A and B are shown apart, each in its own frame.
Chain A
Amino acid sequence: MSQWKNFSKGFFKENAVFVLFLGLCPTLGVTTSLENALGMGLSVLFVLLLTNSLISMIRNIVPAEIRIPVYIVVIALVVTLLEWILQAKFTDLYNSLGIFLPLIVVNCIILGRAEAYASDNTVFDSIFDAIGMGLGFTLGLSTLSFVRELLGTGSVQLLGFTLYETSVAATFLVQPAGAFLTLGIIVGIINTIRIDKAKKKQAIMDIKIAAALKIKAAKAAAAAQAKEELANG
């Protein structure tokens, strides 16, 4: 159960894109199309998986004072490895991600998870954390890019197939300004829902507390009455 929680927190509760606002540069930069977003998300998942497990493995050997530089070197090595793989096998993706690929090194999610999670958890736990966080990031990117590509170009393409088509297109949305606007609106909606939920929860709690108080008061009254009867009789 705790393993499942560990894995699933990255999707909703601690989603990197919509809740923690980590790694916003690639979030806004590559979400012009669903394909790029998926490529970026899976690249981050790959890097996160390797760095989290490596850092978790070496966590007891590295002195605390120099841990951040060591983490950065580990991350840079993994990203360089990924660069080679993509350049050799997935040249299209390599070209379309452009500068955002080497910039995974400074993506706050990677260093953030290394520092906040992998540096004091076991390798096994860290792997689950990495998969959850990475998939959550991919989910965030895909949602954003789906909206932008659909409304911005009128259709959504994936691996040469057209997933969905409309007749309207607001090109503004695939431009930089559209990235900020789409993310702002999605986050705003999520926050509104969350606040509503919290309020409802609070209301239910209030009712429960009121009911509990009522029962308590009734019990106290009954007890008092019983006492009185005992005293009288």
Chain B
Amino acid sequence: MGDLLTLAFTSFLVQNIILSQFLGICSFLGVSNKRSKALGMGLAVFFVITLSGVVTWLIYYKILEPGGLTFMRTIVFILVVAAMVQILEMAIKKFSPLLYGSLGVYLPLITTNCAVLGVALLNIQNNFTLTETLIFSAFTSLGYTAVIVVFSYIREQMLKAPIPEGFKGIPSGLIAASIMALLFKGFVGLI
């Protein structure tokens, strides 16, 4: 139990997927300029990563490994992720039009979000059990959501700041992300 708690904490804060693993940077910079967009993307990523993390784990250990097909994992995983995103999109559209309204536009973008495939591959690379996979996937994606939402607040404030013209937008965003990454390094002492 204690191990799982440590794992949850590590994946959420200490080894934050954006600020220390550099996965999902494209979407991090792309949609973090508005608060509502950041929250929508964050939640959509949370659903997809948690679901695809568990499904790819099951496929890897129940189908690929017994069949000696582990070398196919990259192709299989990306197809699973793409299919998962499609299914999730249809399911949300059918059962909760309200949720679809807020998440729908972000779902197609997630297939090429490297955080999703990254987490699926990390689960296998770290030899996690199914429970560990669930915890790791859920908390890693929550870490993504938390950082992207906090960052969107910072970027909205930065719009009001007198930044030199050449540094407006992405460059100043990257520098702000650097300061945030430095702060997150402080969490290392907690473990």
Contact = CB atoms under 8 A, between A and B. Distances in A.
A151 B155 CA distance: 28
Interface residues of A, number: 46
Interface in A177-191: 177-181, 183-185, 187-191
B117 A191 contact: no
A72 interface: yes
B82 A25 contact: no
B164 interface: yes
B78 A187 contact: no
A194 B171 CA distance: 14
A77 B75 CA distance: 7
Interface stretch (B4-12, B21-29, B95-103, B132-140): B21-29
Interface stretch (A101-109, A129-137, A152-160, A203-211): A101-109
Interface in B144-191: 164-168, 170-175, 177-179, 181-182, 185
Interface residues of B, number: 44
Interface in B1-39: 19-26, 29
Contacts of B19: 176-177
Contacts of B179: 177
A221 interface: no
A189 B26 CA distance: 21
Contact of A25 (B23, B170, B173, B181): B23
For the residues of A in contact with B, the DSSP-based class is helix
Contacts of B182: 172, 177
Contacts of A183: 174
Interface in A91-127: 99, 102-103, 105-108, 111
B78 A191 contact: no
B178 A180 contact: yes
A50 interface: no
In the A-B complex, the 3 residue pairs with the closest CB atoms: A192-B166, A184-B174, A180-B178
Interface of A: 21-29, 69, 72-73, 76-77, 79-80, 83-84, 99, 102-103, 105-108, 111, 172, 175-181, 183-185, 187-195
